[in-house]
Every structure is written in C-alpha cells, then in structure tokens.
Amino acid sequence: AYNELSLHFLAKMGILVVTDIDRPEVDFICRTLGCTPVAHPDQMSADKLGSAERVADVLMEGGSTKVVKFTGVKNPGKTMTVLMRGSNEFVLGEAERSLHDAQCVVRSLVKKRALIAGGGAGETQTFLKLQEYARELTGMDAYCFQAFADALEVISYTLAENAGMKPIEVVTELRKQHAEGIVGAGINVKKGKVSDMYELNVVQPLLVSTSAIQLATETVCMIMKIDDLVVVQ
C-alpha cells in the first residue's frame, strides 16, 4: 500500500515507484527481473532484490502511451514480452487469442512431439479401428466400444456441418477413403470436399486430440456414477 506522502518522500530520494500493477503480473515481473516479491518491509533483504542498469518511463514509438523500460538486467529470467497494437479492443482481443492459440500449439508439441492429420482424419481412423475391434467382442464390451466409436464420428459430422457441407455425405466419403487406406483423409473446409490432409500440410498436435478424448471420457465416467439428482429451487 502507498499514499501520496510516501510517494513524495520516495521521489525526493530518487526512487521510482511503479504503481497499479495487476496481481497476475507480479509473478511474471519477478521472474523477468530475477527478484522475489516482498509483502512487508521487515522481510526485505539483499537476496530478494533484482538489479538493472537503467529503469525509465519511456514513450512508445508512434503512440502516446508510456511504459516502464528495464535495461541491463543482471539476472534476467527466461521470459518475453510481446507488444501488440490494434485499432480497437476487438482487434487486440482477436490478436491476443490467436497468439495464445499459437503458444498452446508449441506447448503441446514440446510436451509430446507428435503430429496427426487434421480435418477429422484422426478421429475417423480411430472410429474405424474401434468399430473393427468391437465386432470381435461380445456382450456389454462390444456395445461399449461401439458407442465410443460412434462418439468419435460425431466430431467429423459436426465439423462438416459447421462448414456448411452435407455431413452425411462427407462422413460416408471419409469412411470410404480411410477404408481404402488413405489415413490422412480429412475434411477440406476451403474446397468443401474430402482431401488428404498430409498433402495439404493440415496437421495438429497429437496431444490436443488425446487430451480432449481423455477429458471427455473422464466426464462421462463421472456422470455415470451419479445415482440420483437433488433439485434445489
């Protein structure tokens, strides 16, 4: 906490105070500057401080916004700041979401270095394999595997439906091409047909698909354990 009097005396001592920092940004700033957050002055010590050659309040090029710029940080952390500009909040929001999606793709590839064909190709291939395995089973196991396979086919159906295509025809063509051994066959949204996603270089991280299937399976298992509902008004 601070007040005008404390800022006055700190300014006379030549100490710059950066105010109005959001709490989520504190951890990022500390990792960047190599310092440790301190909640009380009594906890202040030299090992918790960061070091920089220069700290200045500078004006951004081509604009009227001022930012605090640190240069010559002694022990910089492995962080990076991306500066985005836009004509309005909507453009900035879209740019931020696009950047976040790209970072998530890189993160997925770092955690599991594997890519699969996009456009519903992976889900269709998994559907056919599960359906084939379900035919070899009997009883309740066969029904479970078939239901799991049918759930995966809904992904391709929904993708075709959202693209304005005829979902039944698209799913049928997907089945046909995968049965013929074209494992990369997926929905080409731009041309409105089924194409080989590997030839079009349309791929996605394997971790995205496996995580989605795992979370969906865990959700279904949790719902199936519910015996009764208590309605509260």
* Polymer length of the chain: 233
In terms of domains, do 106 and 94 share one?
yes
Residue 62 or 84, more confident: 84
Within a domain: 102: yes
In terms of domains, do 63 and 134 share one?
no
In terms of domains, do 23 and 105 share one?
no
Predicted pLDDT at 1: 62
Predicted pLDDT at 177: 93
In terms of domains, do 141 and 106 share one?
no
Please state the rounded mean pLDDT for residues 22-36.
Answer: 86
Residue-wise pLDDT for 107-146, tens only, equals 999 999 999 999 999 999 999 999 999 999 888 889 999 9
Highest mean pLDDT among 37-51, 61-75, 114-128: 114-128
Predicted pLDDT at 73: 86
Q: Which of these ranges, 73-77, 118-122, 205-209, has the smallest mean pLDDT?
A: 73-77
Work out the pLDDT band at 23, boundaries 50, 70, 90. Answer: confident
Range of the domain at 92: 85-111
In terms of domains, do 105 and 119 share one?
no
Retrieve residue 1's tokens.
Answer: 């906490």
pTM of the model: 0.65
Number of domains in the chain: 3
Q: Which residue has the tokens 């240069």?
A: 71
In terms of domains, do 199 and 168 share one?
yes
Q: Is residue 64 scored above 80 in pLDDT?
A: no
In terms of domains, do 119 and 174 share one?
yes
Q: Which residues pair with 110 in a beta bridge?
A: none
Within a domain: 233: no
Work out the pLDDT band at 198, boundaries 50, 70, 90. Answer: very high
In terms of domains, do 59 and 101 share one?
no
Distance, CA of 136 to CA of 51 (rounded, Å): 67
In terms of domains, do 102 and 58 share one?
no
Q: Which of these ranges, 83-87, 144-148, 165-169, has the smallest mean pLDDT?
A: 83-87
Q: Is residue 228 scored above 80 in pLDDT?
A: no
Q: Are strands 193-196 and 185-188 parallel, antiparallel or unpaired?
A: antiparallel
The HSE-up count of residue 116 (CA atoms within 13 Å, CB side) is 19
Predicted pLDDT at 22: 84
